[in-house]
Structure 1
Amino acid sequence: MRISDIEALHRLFAEVSAEGEFLLRAEPPPIEQMRAMLLRSLPLDLPQFIAEVDGELVGSIEIFPASFCGVEIGSGEDFGVLGMQVKKAHRGQGLGGRLMAAALEHCRRLDMGRVELTVLKSNLPAIRLYERFAFLWLEDLAPVSLPNGRADRPQKMRLLLD
């Protein structure tokens, strides 16, 4: 990922958010907030990758340390928090798997002990992808109402990298 990708990355987030199906927010974070996060994260060599098709950014993955994301770490052990987006027209073509493989390999090089994520129980293709990479169900979270009005339930999943 490069800082020059920020506008395309913001458009990707906006498109996936607008679907109202996979993210809890109806809109992406403000572009300046995303730019600041990217400027902060790039020098740290964190796992951040994009997928391009014919010069168009169509997918992204990032795995940030929980402490970097403001996630409470009760155990004191920092871990990676995964986020991934793929444009609807490009899902089911293996992009998510290639992004995941690259990001997890990078995590291993950084000696990250584990990666966690939250996924909606209705997002079966994503759950199958995560399970293919050995992520395991950790816990169900409280039910939510998605931007499209549909009720769903998020679940946490974890991958131990040791």
Structure 2
Amino acid sequence: MSIRKLRISDIEALHRLFAEVSAEGEFLLRAEAPPIEQMRAMLLRSLPLDLPQFVAEVESDLVGSIEVFPASFCGMKDGSGEDFGVLGMQVKKAHRNRGLGGNLMEVALEHCRRLDMRRVELTVLKSNATAIRLYERFAFRWLTDLPPVTLPNGRTDQPQKMRLLLG
């Protein structure tokens, strides 16, 4: 397995990864990946900014990704006047529970520190105990519960926000 910065040439493989994880209906609120054109536009906008965007490959197959976008980049503000990162991570089902998420997290958080981000936030479903344990291992802490959601598979779940203070 290798971890490297995301490249625009990864767009098709990244879109397939999002589609595969979305189709599970378990961890993402959407049942399908965003349109590839929308993903390509986001990458063309974000890659020149040297944001924490990494992928994991196994034998040239893209099997995981992590991204931390500044909240302002996503149009989010929390009233504190400071910028913070919003984390997202996707890992193919066949490659979960092998340390890949932890490896992606280490690389992305180190990059966040180099960019002087003050904090990173994420949203995770309470049913995703494995992900919550991973985030807690990196010192993310529960921040607040969000309103319940119905997942694409029809199951109701409770999202929660978690926060990591950097520095």
Instruction: Choose 70-79 or 128-137, whichever is displaced more.
Output: 70-79
Identify unmatched segments of 5+ residues in structure 1. Answer: none
Q: Distance in 1 between matches of 2:103 and 2:43?
A: 21
Q: Map 1:100-139 to 2 at 5 A.
A: 100-139=105-144
Question: Which whole-Å CA distance do the structure 1 matches of 2:129 and 2:78 have between them?
Answer: 28
Name the aligned partner's letter for residue 120 of structure 2: V
Q: CA deviation at 1:73?
A: 2.9
Please state how far the C-alpha of 1:42 moved relative to its aligned partner: 0.6
Q: CA deviation at 1:71?
A: 1.4
Corresponding residue of 1:29 = 34
Q: TM-score, normalised by structure 1?
A: 0.99
Decide whether the 8 Å contact of 1:67 with 1:73 is kept in 2.
no
Runs of 4+ in 1 over 6 A off after TM superposition: none
Root-mean-square deviation over aligned CA pairs: 0.5
1:51-130 equivalent positions in 2, closer than 5 A? 51-130=56-135
Q: Deviations over 1:104-139 (max 9, x none)?
A: 000000000000000000000000000000000000
Q: In the aligned structure 2, how far is the partner of 1:29 from the partner of 1:76?
A: 30
SS of structure 2 residue aligned to 1:78: coil
Equivalent pairs: percent with the same residue? 85
Distance in 1, matches of 2:116 and 2:76, equals: 19
How many equivalent pairs are there? 162
Cα drift, residue 75 of structure 1 = 1.3
Query: Gaps spanning 5+ residues in structure 2: where?
Result: 1-5
* Cα drift, residue 18 of structure 1: 0.2
TM-score (norm 2): 0.96
**1:70 Cα deviation after fit:** 1.4
